[in-house]
Structure 1
């Protein structure tokens, strides 16, 4: 059994079913869905190198991970996983639930920076207004 499968088996109770985690995933998927962010295509819960990543933009080799409370106890596992993914040329960006829920502009700016599409005005396609 690989590390991720073992971790999932041992952490079934805390696998992201809290209300805060669901809200942060919904918020992030809103940012990353339907090519809304600079026309980038993100796949949600995508398989990559034997892992399942939260969001993957393959064309930019960018992985966006959302870290809920369960990640506090799995920091070493997450760090090793990120290192392996990065060794294959991907960039991994991690956000805590609180950041996703409370600071959307920071999330957008960091994703754009990682994807190399950073602009002066953080505007999502379809929003129609400048913040």
Structure 2
């Protein structure tokens, strides 16, 4: 889902929620991810991130987190 000049792994535009699934390479890209998150926030999106292993090993917990985030108010651009 394109947001600003970035592409979110998943997004729910009506809720202004972007979901990123990060692999191991993101452990070394903390600053780049922060810039990406800020760019999406400028457009009103909240960004939540999960590691690949979380999605694969705890899908129920990941889904619960997403549902919880859906209940929160979107950020203002």
Q: For the superposition of Structure 1 and Structure 2, which TM-score range results when normalised by the shorter chain?
A: 0.7 to 0.9
Q: Gaps spanning 5+ residues in structure 1: where?
A: 1-45, 118-131
TM-score (norm 1): 0.52
TM-score (norm 2): 0.85
Q: Give me the CA root mean square deviation.
A: 1.3
The equivalences for 1:1-131 within 5 A come to 46-116=1-71
State how far apart, in whole Å, the 2-side matches of 1:52 and 1:112 are.
21
Q: Gaps spanning 5+ residues in structure 2: where?
A: 73-77
- The alpha-carbon deviation at position 73 of structure 1 amounts to 1.5
Aligned length: 72
Deviations 1:50-80 (A, max 9, x none): 1011001101111000010111111100011
Larger % of strand: which?
2
Which structure has more RCO (C-alpha within 8 Å, separation ≥ 6)?
A: 2
Runs of 4+ in 1 over 6 A off after TM superposition: none
Rg: which structure is higher? 1
